[in-house]
Structure 1
Amino acid sequence: MNGSRAGSPAGPGPNRRRFLAAAGLTAAGATLALTQGRAGAGPSRRPAAGGYRVPVEDVRHTRTWMTWPDSTAIWGGGRLRGIQADIALIARTIAAYEPVTMCANSASAARARSMCGSSVTVISSIPVDDCWTRDTGPVFRTDGAGGLDAVGLNFNGWGDKQTHRSDARVAERIASYVGVPFTRADFVGEGGAVEQDGAGTLMATRSSLLNKNRNPGMEQGTLEAAMRDAYGASKVIWFDGVYGQDITDDHVDATSRFLAPGEALVQMPLASDNDDYAKDARQQYRVLTGSTTADGRPMDVMKLQGPDYEKIRSTDPDFLASYANFYLCNDAVICAHFGDEGADAAAKATLARLYPDRTIEQLNIDRLGTGGGGIHCVTQQQPVA
């Protein structure tokens, strides 16, 4: 996920959610991460075979899963309330279209219920560390015949950059709550690091997954095979990505998204932008336009113009202004606006054209954006089986 302002030099080191000084891995935390292994709960197991695959995200959902942030160690006391307000706004907006289940720690469940309102179901039986459910939650799969299961991607705090004692087990605990079989992928990653078209094609950045902080020593072919097994896919389209400049090492879902089998969208920078993320976006567009789908068809690639960072509301250097990080729920597209009025309106019009049968809900989530994330990052869909 891009955590830097477009058009300006990328800052040194990880910069999404500047928590490292306040809540970085202490020696004890690092030891915990090592002893927990890939996911903190037993050995990895290859996902069961048998026709299961992760569907494209515009299928109907049973519900959306979210997680409630309550850590002042991560967010600081002055920022946490605003982050919670943005999470609650997203949850309430989605809940107008489909059920939302929010996982909250027991100590903060009452606040979550108060801020989210009665339309959102808050449960306190699944402990969490933070709000990034796209990365910590299970990846649900369907078999086209009424079957549903879930895969865990062995979340390790984006390469042990953040403590994750509870978040490492969110995926399996949600699967248990739903009552579906759960298996672990044979690689370490996050949901935001992989995009799927539901028909056999994946896309991802090497910087996130082919990285020693997730999968040390793993060759690309081995990693690709594990991704195909987990997602029920047969092809991976790779982008180089951006190493070490944000906590996610450049998640693909901030820049490129699948709309349907054979159809993709890339958020493009301004022509004058030339930072690492702008170069990365242009490279993703070039790679996709020269790629084919799993069944050999040429990719149809559309552009979504990003905003001018000089015109957006936020001046935070870590702000993520990603229209591409939208979330599809039943009958709606939930996306962000950033204060560049022309670009905001154009993005909304583009999404309305791409999804003519859905309502476009455009939200101000600037406080979440200063954490380097967006709406897709904090949601995880449970598809109808």
Structure 2
Amino acid sequence: MSTQRLPAEWEPQDAVLLTWPHKNTAWNWILEDVTELYEALATVIVDYADVIIALPADMIDEVYGRLEAMGAPMEYIYLYPCDSDDTWARDHGPLTVETENGFTLLDFQFNGWGSKFPHQKDNQLSQQLFALNAFPYATIAAQDWVLEGGSIETDGQGTLLTTSSCLLNKNRNPNLTKDDIETRLKAAFGVRKINWLDHGYLAGDDTDSHIDTLARLCPNNTIVYTACDDEQDEHYAELKKMEEQLKTFTNADGEPYRLLPLPWSGPVLGRDSDERLPSTYANFLVINEAVLVPIYELPMDEDALEVISQAFPGFEILGIPCNALIEQGGSLHCITMQIPEGVLEPL
């Protein structure tokens, strides 16, 4: 039994990591739009947790000035000069586990979701931040296998949820079997049971079906999940199979889940193309007493906020417009990584 544990996202946090967009990222064609989204997001997050921003050294003064002009409390926002390829902090950021001796940042290998995109700088980003003392009360441990934060969900109590299409994909860890990966996940995160989803995908997703776009663990043995109610939609059959599989899952203690379906957005198309974008409501971020939910200027936005409020009683539920983010295939959870309480300040 592992003595280290990956906390659930709804446990107390010190900070949230953002990797800032810049002209050398894939955002260059809508850089101003997405920068404004990041600025607005940072000013919301800082109401609930500190904000760590990784960004090019030559942008620090500009970003500091813009956030300060927006009234952000800059004593809770930390800007660190880092080289990055892109902005998906959920996947290149550290996964922080609680150990007998404090906290350890697990720095997994990041290979651009199976070598689809440039990733060498992003793969070094956690080490860059650690060297700059961004995480003063944690150690860091390099891992020798590929894993992205968006590909796993945990309740912090022994159960992990993931997708076989991502973790068992030969573009990640071709030399590891499913049993190998299970053994490593259990050791790394202190889980006793792993639930593997074999169905579910979203058009426009580059991650080979990350769990954080499809189904999310919530407090009180609850799962919210992406559901499709349009029988004519290309996703209908796969998401129906996913729903049926979720009904069979139990947690590490053998208890079935309370399942809450999220509304289906219908087709959302790219601004410069007729390709579908992965407009999922499942890609929310939990920060201390709040849940930030991606919304897309659609009629079903309000329904999504209501479902998530049922999953997180007592939390403040805030909608964050994320139309710009899904242009590059991700949403709110994909661009953030929470840092547990005790890493920036001692417990």
Q: TM-score normalized by structure 1?
A: 0.79
Q: How many residues align?
A: 333
Q: Does 158-167 or 314-323 show the bigger shift?
A: 314-323
Please tell me whether the aligned partners of residues 68 and 112 of structure 1 are also in contact (alpha carbons under 8 angstroms).
Answer: no
Aligned residue for 1:258?
217
Please tell me whether the aligned partners of residues 162 and 197 of structure 2 are also in contact (alpha carbons under 8 angstroms).
Answer: yes
Matching of residue 54 in structure 1 with residue 6 in structure 2:
yes
Query: Residues 185 and 318 (structure 1 numbering): CA distance in 2 closer, same or farther, change over 3 Å?
Result: farther
* Equivalent position amino acid for 1:84 in 2: T
* Equivalent position amino acid for 1:119 in 2: P
Aligned residue for 2:152?
194
Matching of residue 119 in structure 1 with residue 76 in structure 2:
no
Q: How far apart are residue 196 of structure 1 and its match?
A: 0.9
Alignment equivalent of 2:97, drawn from 141, 146, 169: 141
- Residues 194-215 of structure 1: per-residue CA shift (max 9 Å, x gap): 1111111111111211111111
Higher strand proportion, which one?
2
Return the alpha-carbon distance in structure 1 between the equivalents of residues 268 and 88 of structure 2.
27
Return the alpha-carbon distance in structure 2 between the equivalents of residues 380 and 310 of structure 1.
26
- Residues 297-334 of structure 1: per-residue CA shift (max 9 Å, x gap): 22222211222336999976242211111101122111
Larger RCO (alpha carbons 8 Å, 6+ apart): 1
Q: Secondary structure at the match of 1:202?
A: strand
Q: Does 105-114 or 225-234 show the bigger shift?
A: 105-114
Return the alpha-carbon distance in structure 2 between the equivalents of residues 262 and 190 of structure 1.
24
Please tell me whether the aligned partners of residues 292 and 299 of structure 1 are also in contact (alpha carbons under 8 angstroms).
Answer: yes
* Equivalent position amino acid for 1:54 in 2: L
Aligned residue for 2:44?
93
Return the alpha-carbon distance in structure 2 between the equivalents of residues 65 and 153 of structure 1.
16
Q: Does 301-310 or 357-366 show the bigger shift?
A: 301-310
Aligned residue for 1:33?
none
Q: Secondary structure at the match of 1:57?
A: coil
Superposed counterparts of 1:4-83, under 5 Å: 51-72=3-24, 74-76=26-28, 78-83=29-34
Aligned residue for 2:228?
269
Aligned residue for 2:302?
345
Matching of residue 168 in structure 1 with residue 123 in structure 2:
yes
Q: Which runs of 5+ in 1 are unaligned?
A: 1-48
Return the alpha-carbon distance in structure 2 between the equivalents of residues 243 and 375 of structure 1.
16
Q: Secondary structure at the match of 1:333?
A: strand
Superposition RMSD on alpha carbons, in Å? Answer: 2.5
Q: Which runs of 5+ in 2 are unaligned?
A: 343-347
Q: Secondary structure at the match of 1:153?
A: strand
Query: Residues 260 and 220 (structure 1 numbering): CA distance in 2 closer, same or farther, change over 3 Å?
Result: same
Q: Secondary structure at the match of 2:291?
A: strand
Please tell me whether the aligned partners of residues 187 and 223 of structure 1 are also in contact (alpha carbons under 8 angstroms).
Answer: no
* Equivalent position amino acid for 2:73 in 1: S
Q: How far apart are residue 98 of structure 1 and its match?
A: 1.5
- Residues 67-101 of structure 1: per-residue CA shift (max 9 Å, x gap): 1011445233x312212221222111111222111
Q: TM-score normalized by structure 2?
A: 0.88
- Residues 248-297 of structure 1: per-residue CA shift (max 9 Å, x gap): 1111101100003632111211232442x443332322222101111222
Alignment equivalent of 2:35, drawn from 73, 81, 84: 84
Q: How far apart are residue 114 of structure 1 and its match?
A: 3.5
Matching of residue 249 in structure 1 with residue 208 in structure 2:
yes
